[in-house]
Structures are given as C-alpha cells and as structure tokens.
Amino acid sequence: QSALTQPRSVSGSPGQSVTISCTGTSSDVGGRNFVSWYQQHPGEAPKLIICDVTERPSGVPDRFSGSRSGNTAFLTISGLQPEDEADYHCCSHAGTYTSGYVFGSGTTVTVL
Amino acid sequence: EVQLVESGGGLVQPGGSLRLSCAASGFTFRNYWMHWVRQVPGKGLVWLSGIKSDGSDTIYADSVKGRFTMSRDNTGNTLYLQMDNLRADDSALYYCIKELSQDFDYWGQGTLVTVSS
C-alpha cells in the first residue's frame, strides 16, 4: 500500500489561507468517505482535526475545513494563526477490510 | 478523560523480539477497534495493525504481516503488539490508537523502539 501524496511543505502569513492536498487513488481517497486529517506539533502525538472528509470534531476551530475532489482530499486552514504551525497528515481507509489504512507523507505548515 | 499509555519500547538487536503494551482508560475499551501506528522521527505516519473490539479479528500492513501480532485483554483494558524478527527499519516511535468510526480519535504519547546491534 503506497503512502498518499502530500506536498512536503506549505507556508503562509498570519491571517492568510493555506490548502494542503492529499492524493490517493479511487480505491482509497476517491472511493471511501473515511478520509481524516491529523495535526502534529513537535514532540507531541497527532490530533484528529478532520474526520469523514469534511467533519470537524468537537473543539476543533472552524478555520480548519476539509474537502475532496476526485482522488484528492484537501485541508484548508483559513485565517492562519501562529499556533497552526505544525505537521499535518492525511489518512484514508485503504479500500478493503483487510487492507487497513494508509497515511499521507505529511506536510509541514510554516507561519511566516 | 481518555488515556492511552504505551510501554515496552527499548533497544533490541536485529532479529530480536519486543512486546509493546498500551494501558487504556477513560472509555469502554471492549467496545472499540484499536490500532498501532508508527513514526520514524521527522517522517510520516505508518499504519501497522488493527484489532476488532472483541479481539476476534486482526488486520496487518504487509510490512509487518507474519512478524507482528496484535492482541488485547478486554478484562485488563490493555492492548499488545508482539514484534518478532525485528529489523533496523522497524526503529520508530510506536503509537497506540483508539478508533471511532474509521477515524483515529485518541492517540497515546508513543513508545520508542530502536533496533540496532
């Protein structure tokens, strides 16, 4: 199972919007409604910020949003804040019961 | 408060074995699928294995199938990962994770495994 493809890094100034892509295949990202995104600050465990492609768990700021087009999922951070500087990982169910899950390669967001 | 606390990591020689544990609290452990994910520091996350809520089924990534065995004790609220025939590329931080409807909603802090001679 190959990792989903994410850009290595993106950056933006405070208040700007940034979008991270996560490209898979029709078997995973494009074919399942189980795409999630995780935020990871240095030295910390990942935290769920988007589930089921577009849903935000309780407590996650509404500046984080998820979407999908074809085999690519997107995480958009609107109104970038300094505390949003972190690594972001996408994840998808891999398509069949026995194939489990596949993560993206990870994207570092830098707030300029 | 949900807590997942991993233990059992350490230094092991290539070809050796380790057993990781994850003590769960703050939720009804026996009702949820659980998973293990690993991360080489500075790199991406890699899903390794999952186990059904009652322990009756397990699934594995190809990279660990046949070498790693996941199990659980629903009486003691503990998750396990038995790792055999370890290789240098198994060196990573190993996370224990609770699943909620195909999303990973709670993560432990991880336990570090180093495979080296």
Contact A103 B104 (CB under 8 A): no
* pLDDT, tens digit (0-9, with 9 covering 90-100), for B12-70: 999 999 999 999 999 999 999 999 999 999 899 999 999 999 999 999 999 999 999 99
Nearest to B102 among A34, A89, A104 (CB): A34
- Separation of alpha carbons B80 and A93, rounded Å: 22
Query: What is the DSSP-derived secondary structure letter of residue B75?
Result: T
Contact assignment for A1 to B62 by CB distance below 8 Å: yes
What is the rounded distance in angstroms from the CA atom of residue A97 to the CA atom of residue B22? 24
**Closest residue of chain B to A2, computed from CA coordinates:** B46
d(CA A62, CA A85): 16
Instruction: Compute CA distances A93 → A33, A99, A111, B36, B51, whole Å.
Output: 8, 8, 30, 15, 15
CA nearest neighbour of B102 among A99, A72, A52, A10: A52
Which residues, 6+ apart, have CB-to-CB distance to A54 below 8 Å? A65, A66, A67, A68
Q: Indicate the residue of B45, B59, B60 with minimum beta-carbon distance to A46.
A: B45
| B60 at interface of A, judged by CB pairs closer than 8 A | yes
pLDDT in tens, A88-102: 999 999 878 788 999
pLDDT in tens, A61-89: 999 999 999 999 999 999 999 999 999 99
- Give the whole-angstrom CA distance, residue A49 versus residue B103: 10
Chain A and chain B share a number of CB contacts under 8 A equal to: 62
| Contact in structure between A11 and A111 (CB atoms under 8 Å) | yes
Nearest C-alpha in A relative to B52 = A97
Q: Chain A partners of B50 at a C-beta cutoff of 8 Å?
A: 100-101
Residue A104: how many CA atoms within 13 Å on its side-chain side? Answer: 31
